[in-house]
Amino acid sequence: MKAVICDHWAPYTDLKITDIEPPTAKPGQVIIDIKAIGLNFFDTLIVENRYQITPDLPFSPGGEIAGIVKEVGDHVIAFSPGDRVMAYVGYNGAREQLSVPAGKITPIPDNISFESAAGLSITYGTSLHALRDRASIRPRETLAVLGASGGVGQSAIEIGKVLGARVIACASSDEKLATCKQLGADELVNYQTQDLKTELKRLTGGKGVDVIYDPVGGDLSEQALRATAWNGRFLVIGFASGTIPKIPLNLTLLKGCQII
């Protein structure tokens, strides 16, 4: 079968497609015919050995998969051949088939495509955990989403609205912000042409933002933290800018806020 293979640590441009042996169904495992995979920022890191997980070489990138059950191993009773399923596997998703522990697999509803299902686990799982479990966001609180047009950003807008928040989408172009508006964002900030701190303060009547959702990092993080409300929550989601910010901790003291 075909697979995208990383056999040495290098940028994703060095990946190659090659033939490998198909998997076998071990007890408790399910073989999935993969129809779609989700690609995330960490996939570009893991192939360069810059991620917190270090797979043994060779391996395939691709942490999210969706497809059809081909075969089940002994002791698997929840799934049968032909079932439409999705799973988060960490890596090895970019291949035609994969053997996955049954406990990692979730059925796909009939009204969701393989492509959509393959992109659900990381982006929506991240945002749901961050907003509901970590920030405990409440109805009518304000939520500012940085990098709002990206994968996790879009999911944060949608989940924030479902949880009753007033969502301020922040992105680097008007074109990106138009997408955010279509997803339900209440307010928009272009941080390439506007000062992020000033705009967030203005849009909250000087109070500041209750919850900051930051998958970007870099210089934007401190600007956003300075616009946080008293007892606000600053969610550290990632560092897509490539720069891990150094935050003045006196700001958390002055604002009584949490960095989560």
Domains and CATH numbers, the chain: 2-112 (3.90.180.10), 121-259 (3.40.50.720)
Say what the pLDDT of residue 38 is: 95
Provide CB contacts within 8 A for 222, sequence distance 6+.
245, 247, 248, 251
The whole-chain average pLDDT of the chain stands at 97
| Alpha carbons 150 and 161: distance in angstroms, whole number | 17
Percent of the chain with pLDDT over 70: 100
Q: Where does the pLDDT of residue 30 fall: very low under 50, low under 70, confident under 90, or very high at 90 and above?
A: very high
DSSP reduced 3-state for 243: coil
First vs last Cα of the chain: how many Å apart? 43
Say what the pLDDT of residue 191 is: 97
Say what the pLDDT of residue 185 is: 98
User: How far, rounded to the nearest angstrom, does the alpha carbon of residue 121 sit from its chain's CA centroid?
Assistant: 8
pTM above 0.85, yes or no: yes
- pLDDT exceeds 90 at position 242: no
User: How far, rounded to the nearest angstrom, does the alpha carbon of residue 80 sit from its chain's CA centroid?
Assistant: 29
| Alpha carbons 106 and 85: distance in angstroms, whole number | 6
Closest CA to 137 of 166, 97, 103: 166
- Residue pair 108/114 in contact by the 8 Å Cβ criterion: yes
- The HSE-up count of residue 79 (CA atoms within 13 Å, CB side) is 31
DSSP reduced 3-state for 198: helix
- Residue pair 223/196 in contact by the 8 Å Cβ criterion: yes
Say what the pLDDT of residue 24 is: 94
Say if residue 206 is exposed, middle or buried (CB neighbours under 10 Å; 0-12, 13-18, 19+): exposed
